[in-house]
Amino acid sequence: MKGRINGGRIGWLVLVALLLAVHGTSGGEKPKEFPFRYVGGTLGPSDPCKGVLETSPTELTFRCPTVAITVPFTSIILMQYRADISRKVRKMKLRWHLQPPVGGGTENRYFTLIYNESGSRQGLVLEVSSQAMRPYLAEIDLRAGRRIDVQNHETYQYR
């Protein structure tokens, strides 16, 4: 009798698990994860938006629900991944459509691109976690033919 009860419970649990699995796959799509957030730029929306960064052999594109901004690798002047927007970028006096945030910290979160488009200098600032940015660093370096200036936050203790 115990064998039947436990077997019945196991069978019931398997049936419930199968129903949940079928319901989970046939239900609506899960919301897409958008690791990048547009927080500043000379072109693009006037409000922050979340999106994805796509790379191709010749360009990178930031896409959010309201806009797509494409930057050819050959037009890039400066790339930085820092905890803040550098003084060098702020001194460029770009005409920001959405002013990038002011602030710092001890963890990199702002990926900044300065590039030429139609003879004028443009800027793009995306907020992204270090974990989400890590896979992009080497790929963008390689395709752009130049290094991303990554701010180092390691502290060393000398004895």
Of 11 and 59, more confident: 59
Rounded to two decimals, the pTM is: 0.75
Both 22 and 59 in a single domain? no
Both 71 and 138 in a single domain? yes
pLDDT confidence of residue 157? 53
Both 75 and 116 in a single domain? yes
Both 19 and 50 in a single domain? no
Both 56 and 8 in a single domain? no
- Residue 159 within any structural domain of the chain: no
Residue 2 has pLDDT above 70, yes or no: no
CATH code at 142?
A: 2.30.29.30
Do 123 and 62 touch, CB atoms closer than 8 A? no
- Residue 157 within any structural domain of the chain: no
- Write the secondary structure of 64-108 as one string of H (helix), E (strand) and C (coil): ECCEEEEEEHHHEEEEEEECCCCHHHHCCCCCCCECCCCCCCCCC
> pLDDT tens digits for 107-140?
899 999 999 998 999 999 999 999 999 999 999 9
Among 142, 129, 139, 150, residue whose Cα is nearest residue 34: 129
Both 92 and 19 in a single domain? no
Both 48 and 86 in a single domain? yes
Do 73 and 145 touch, CB atoms closer than 8 A? yes
Look at the chain and report how many structural domains it folds into. 2
Both 12 and 56 in a single domain? no
> pLDDT tens digits for 86-109?
999 999 999 999 999 988 788 899
User: In which domain, by residue range, is 104 found?
Assistant: 36-150
